[in-house]
Structure 1
Amino acid sequence: MATHKQRLETDYLIIGSGASGLLAASRLAPHGSVLLVNKGGIQNSSTWNAQGGIAGVLSDTDSIDSHVRDTLIAGAGLCHEDAVKGIIMHGRKIVQELIEIGTGFDTCNGELHLTREGGHSNRRIAHSRDATGKAIAEALLAKITPQPGIQQLEYHTAIDLITTRRLGHAGDNRCLGAYLLAPDGSVITVTARCTILATGGAGKVYMYTSNPHAATGDGIAMAWRAGCPVMNLEFIQFHPTCLYHREGSNMLLSEALRGEGAHLVDAHGRRFVFDYDTRGEMASRDIVARAIDHEMKKQGVDCMYLDARPIGTETICNHFPNIHERLLQLGLDMTAEPIPVVPAAHYLCGGIQADIHGRTAINGLYAIGETACTGLHGANRLASNSLLECLVMADYCTTDIITSAPPVPAHAPLWDDSGIEPEQERIQIKQNWDEIRATMSHYVGIVRTDERLRRARRRLRVIHEEIDSYYWRHPVSQDLLELRNLELVAELIVMSAQSRHESRGLHYSTDHPATLNEPHDTILMPDF
């Protein structure tokens, strides 16, 4: 059973069309041809779903030093201070550019309306009501759409990177492009001067996540198979307030609600977070998520509650209209009652090891945004630093590419599908998908133990062997590719967690409750 094959050539291949990918495409288009690839539609990205906003030093009462300090505190001693400063210092410039291209940030008396979120000592979050990511994505998309040098391929799934090492060439490992699966089942061989991974995170390794379905860790898995080290994958940020409701299980209740004065309470109306941190609801996300998780376990209940009534109906309707409307559709009114919430996997602080320019261990391969790990977030991301990182890294990355004049890529062979056989049934894919997510949720969640991690590693190893056998015998499909990537990233998360014998930031182990005096990154190296 042969697969139809085609070939494309481009100067710049960008995989992923969230904020990082869109801005990178806009920057590179004047300098060569751009192929922008997304495995779903433009709306199937974490950027599009981002509610809260983008952090930056945007008022005279704030300072770079203050934003840096808040980021370092949230990062629990693991941030790379050079990366923190390098990204934060560009916050005002990036927000100003977004305004110039038409992003509709909220204003008050002609000035940006800035809100505050957990871990921030100042109001520094620029936002567009409670749909900031959508506003940014729409503005960036409007900027790139008329540019003739950009070709967009939606619903195309990256299979693997093409590298000189993969082809058996001697010398330094260089990325030549990637293989893409088209909607009709054909495989496209894309060669490019530079390849940028802007594929987002991996929240779908867990049963409960705020992430869109596309967040299956594709970029991390492809980069690992190609030879890139990964860093700090054990640090999974769980958003404290995901709606606890069967029909809205991936809906977030923005942290900005707590920034404006909403309370976290139990079923009896008691504000419990002050039992865990003097900052109460304004503590960093890891502390608030653990507080909710601990109270749920202690009280034997399924959820806690977010009470937004102290904010007032006018503020709720004016600043959080989308959240309010969505809740009303589900029969919940946050102007009149507390809303049930649980923590859910939200953001991956680790990723492909890269510098703030997105440079990886492979020549010609860049990683930007959530799929990359620069050391900005350390052991815990400060709220709303993510969109900032996405856009600043895209800016740095494209400047590096433009000034480095990358060479024309070598010839890459077409996709080889010899020896495959048709699928007889697909139940194995669904079964393994469900088992991976259940294993990660039960054994590698907010609170971890050595034994839980050992159990997870054993189960994932069995699943890995099943997937590997299936992959090499059957035609590729989006479901199979996502499953393969999901399992690999799950294993890397567990391996990283097993390597950290302390509790720090988002990694909390009851077997190792103390925090070591000397912070260290967890770096895993592919075995070639």
Structure 2
Amino acid sequence: MKGREYSNGMLPAGQYPKSRRYDVIIVGMGVAGLTVALSLDKKLRIALVSKNSLDESSTYKAQGGMAVAAGTDDSAAQHAADTLHVGKGLCSKESVAVLTREAPAALDFLQTMGTRFCKSEQGLELAREGGHSRKRVVHHYDFTGRHIAEVLARQTAGRSNIECWEDTFLIDILTNAQGCCGCLVKKKKQTLQLLAPAVVIAAGGYSGIFGRSTNSVAANGDGIAAAYRAGAVITDMEFVQFHPTAVTLPTGKVFLVSEALRGEGALLVNAAGERFMPNYHESAELAPRDEVSRAMLAELERQQGGCLYLDARALGQDYLMERFQAIYAELAEHGYFMEKQLIPVLPTAHYTIGGIKTDLWGQSSIPHLYACGESAATGVHGANRLASNSLLEGVVFGRRVAAHIHDNSRNPLQTADFSAAERRKRHSLPPVALLRKKMDVTAGVVRQGRELKDMTEWLHQQQEANRQEEGQPDFSADNAYLLAGLLVEAALLRRESRGGHYRADYPVQNDRDFKKHSIHVWGKKVSLQ
């Protein structure tokens, strides 16, 4: 298929960027992307693309651990049952079965790569987190994600067939008559075509479009936005998980305080120092995250403002300093000492469930375009993610993507089509900080139809009123505004409450009308299917 003229502001119309050819392109250097790269045949030439350094990835910031049924009182079936329960009727049972059944193999893979999970005399040390009926979270103290990311990155650095493209921004996905054939990227001031028979989007989620987020502001769903413009099916964008316990440090930084603390006995208390979660849920502090977050807001309303706190004093200094090394050090550096102080916490945007719709092998609706990790909507999480299933999903489905590429990638490269890039409208939008502030208010833990409608109209007005004809476009801001629009549209359409989506004007789960998935496809209105 003949490529169309590219006229998006970086090159004159009719000119094409220089190209580099690979066997596989992977966008994203978190656990999912690194797993794909390390699981592919060493004979394949791989481009590993990332816009940020490793320590900016969501994987690197993950504290708790990875869920796997490794205990003698546990099983894949029980792990699956807990996952389905938390997902509130929207999980794919097939995807959940794959996730939980292949969890031991994922654990073996990480250990073979060099990951060292904490152990006791009985074997792997297992923790319990919200929504789990058993202790099943393997961990490396309280910086599991960082440890895994560093181990896998070292392995990647030792592979001569993997070329790392750091500080490289994904502009758009390129297609031809056979499907996806590469991507358009920008490194410094140079725009390039990276071409390959298979492209994997593992670029993370979009919680960075919220002002209060545990993740980097760079987590604004660039890979999802690019896939959407290329014509891929996007699903479940309204479902956002808000982690109950994050503290705002004196510097203004929002810092996650792991759920594992509550698993070890830490309690949530109100301004009067009273434990309140048993009043809201039978599982108290270990209820699913969406229910704990809503209970916290209800308690704040009941006490008419003030603060809520995490009370870990009963765990003692020695245990806290050993088991929760990173959290203790970060809090202590800012004057919080868990063994003697209450830690002020509030729910915070943490994980986004929506993304590129895939099958069990990570294939999107566009041939030869794959997705895994938080960029993908595999069907595993349903309406709300079970704690510590995210690292597991990245490894399980990253390995499956690599296996499918190995068995099926025979797509001969042809000239790329720039039509997806042409769909990117150029805007001079208001600062993204304003968008994030408005998303906190409109699309947070509790939503209202009237506010969602107003937000939809505001977003449309910004797009129409701020068309840019000259100058360099801000691709990151464009993506943030685009995905905010998809999220708000889906949230407005879903007139019920389920998992990570709660409508105060429709507070009841409605299976008859809404046990469906929101679907976004370029050029079509959002629908439920």
TMscore range, shorter length: over 0.9
Contact residue 25 and residue 198 of structure 2 kept, 8 A: yes
Contact residue 41 and residue 406 of structure 2 kept, 8 A: no
Q: How many residues align?
A: 507
- Distance in 1 (CA, whole Å) between partners of 2:418 and 2:234 is 28
Tell me the SS of whatever aligns to 2:18: strand
2:506 to 491, 495, 512: 512
**Which position in structure 2 is the counterpart of 1:167?**
none
Contact residue 2 and residue 417 of structure 1 kept, 8 A: no
Q: In the alignment, is residue 474 of structure 1 matched against residue 471 of structure 2?
A: yes
Cα offset, 1:475, TM superposition: 2.0
Residue by residue over 1:274-297, the C-alpha shift from the partner in whole angstroms, topping out at 9 and shown as x without a partner, is: 121011101010010111122223
Q: Partner amino acid for 2:187? A: A
Contact residue 5 and residue 414 of structure 1 kept, 8 A: no
Cα offset, 1:65, TM superposition: 1.2
**Which position in structure 2 is the counterpart of 1:500?**
494
Tell me the SS of whatever aligns to 1:121: coil
- Distance in 1 (CA, whole Å) between partners of 2:248 and 2:298 is 16
Query: Once structures 1 and 2 are overlaid, which stretch shifts more, 139-148 or 489-498?
Result: 139-148
Q: In the alignment, is residue 226 of structure 1 matched against residue 230 of structure 2?
A: yes
Tell me the SS of whatever aligns to 2:431: helix
Q: Partner amino acid for 2:478? A: R
TM-score (norm 2): 0.92
**Which position in structure 1 is the counterpart of 2:71?**
59
**Which position in structure 1 is the counterpart of 2:262?**
258
Q: Partner amino acid for 2:97? A: K
Mapping 1:196-345, distance limit 5 Å:
196-247=200-251, 249-345=253-349
Q: Partner amino acid for 2:91? A: C
Output the aligned Cα RMSD: 2.1
Q: Which runs of 5+ in 1 are unaligned?
A: 165-170
- Distance in 2 (CA, whole Å) between partners of 1:383 and 1:416 is 35
Cα offset, 1:416, TM superposition: 12
**Which position in structure 2 is the counterpart of 1:175?**
180
Mapping 1:419-498, distance limit 5 Å:
431-466=430-465, 469-470=467-468, 473-476=470-473, 480-498=474-492
Q: In the alignment, is residue 11 of structure 1 matched against residue 15 of structure 2?
A: no
Cα offset, 1:481, TM superposition: 1.0
- Distance in 2 (CA, whole Å) between partners of 1:464 and 1:289 is 32
Tell me the SS of whatever aligns to 2:54: coil
Q: Partner amino acid for 1:497? A: A
Cα distance 1:70–1:134, how it changes in 2: closer, same or farther (>3 A)?
same
Cα offset, 1:223, TM superposition: 0.7
Cα distance 1:302–1:216, how it changes in 2: closer, same or farther (>3 A)?
farther
Q: Which runs of 5+ in 2 are unaligned?
A: 1-8, 525-529
Q: In the alignment, is residue 124 of structure 1 matched against residue 136 of structure 2?
A: yes
Residue by residue over 1:388-422, the C-alpha shift from the partner in whole angstroms, topping out at 9 and shown as x without a partner, is: 0011010111101100032122123799999xxxx
Q: Partner amino acid for 2:510? A: L
- Distance in 1 (CA, whole Å) between partners of 2:452 and 2:421 is 36
- Distance in 1 (CA, whole Å) between partners of 2:421 and 2:162 is 30
Tell me the SS of whatever aligns to 1:115: coil
**Which position in structure 2 is the counterpart of 1:168?**
none
Q: Partner amino acid for 1:84? A: V
**Which position in structure 2 is the counterpart of 1:34?**
46
- Distance in 2 (CA, whole Å) between partners of 1:246 and 1:222 is 36
Q: In the alignment, is residue 89 of structure 1 matched against residue 82 of structure 2?
A: no
- Distance in 2 (CA, whole Å) between partners of 1:97 and 1:380 is 26
Cα offset, 1:313, TM superposition: 1.9
Contact residue 237 and residue 349 of structure 1 kept, 8 A: yes
Contact residue 25 and residue 199 of structure 2 kept, 8 A: yes
Cα offset, 1:461, TM superposition: 1.0
Residue by residue over 1:417-471, the C-alpha shift from the partner in whole angstroms, topping out at 9 and shown as x without a partner, is: 99xxxx9xx9x55x3312211221111111111101101101111222355x22x
Tell me the SS of whatever aligns to 1:310: helix
Query: Once structures 1 and 2 are overlaid, which stretch shifts more, 1-10 or 65-74?
Result: 1-10
Tell me the SS of whatever aligns to 1:215: coil
Contact residue 184 and residue 194 of structure 2 kept, 8 A: yes
Residue by residue over 1:147-182, the C-alpha shift from the partner in whole angstroms, topping out at 9 and shown as x without a partner, is: 111000100001011112xxxxxx56x111111111
Cα distance 1:224–1:30, how it changes in 2: closer, same or farther (>3 A)?
same
**Which position in structure 2 is the counterpart of 1:189?**
193
Query: Once structures 1 and 2 are overlaid, which stretch shifts more, 287-296 or 327-336?
Result: 287-296
- Distance in 2 (CA, whole Å) between partners of 1:163 and 1:359 is 15
Mapping 1:64-143, distance limit 5 Å:
64-109=76-121, 111-143=123-155
- Distance in 2 (CA, whole Å) between partners of 1:248 and 1:417 is 36
- Distance in 2 (CA, whole Å) between partners of 1:163 and 1:136 is 33
- Distance in 1 (CA, whole Å) between partners of 2:406 and 2:10 is 39
- Distance in 2 (CA, whole Å) between partners of 1:226 and 1:5 is 18
- Distance in 2 (CA, whole Å) between partners of 1:502 and 1:159 is 35
Contact residue 221 and residue 485 of structure 1 kept, 8 A: yes
- Distance in 2 (CA, whole Å) between partners of 1:321 and 1:286 is 27
TM-score (norm 1): 0.92
Cα offset, 1:303, TM superposition: 3.2
- Distance in 2 (CA, whole Å) between partners of 1:514 and 1:415 is 42
- Distance in 1 (CA, whole Å) between partners of 2:418 and 2:81 is 50
Tell me the SS of whatever aligns to 1:43: helix
Contact residue 175 and residue 418 of structure 2 kept, 8 A: no
Cα distance 1:271–1:526, how it changes in 2: closer, same or farther (>3 A)?
same
Tell me the SS of whatever aligns to 2:160: coil
Cα offset, 1:473, TM superposition: 2.9
Contact residue 208 and residue 249 of structure 1 kept, 8 A: no
Contact residue 358 and residue 367 of structure 1 kept, 8 A: yes
Contact residue 12 and residue 28 of structure 1 kept, 8 A: no
**Which position in structure 2 is the counterpart of 1:412?**
416
**Which position in structure 1 is the counterpart of 2:5?**
none
Residue by residue over 1:63-94, the C-alpha shift from the partner in whole angstroms, topping out at 9 and shown as x without a partner, is: 11110110011011111111000111111111
**Which position in structure 2 is the counterpart of 1:346?**
350
Residue by residue over 1:215-264, the C-alpha shift from the partner in whole angstroms, topping out at 9 and shown as x without a partner, is: 01111111111101111111100000011334253210000000000000
Tell me the SS of whatever aligns to 1:114: coil
Runs of 4+ aligned structure 1 residues displaced above 3 Å come to: 1-5, 413-418
Cα offset, 1:520, TM superposition: 1.4
- Distance in 1 (CA, whole Å) between partners of 2:275 and 2:209 is 31
Cα offset, 1:195, TM superposition: 0.4
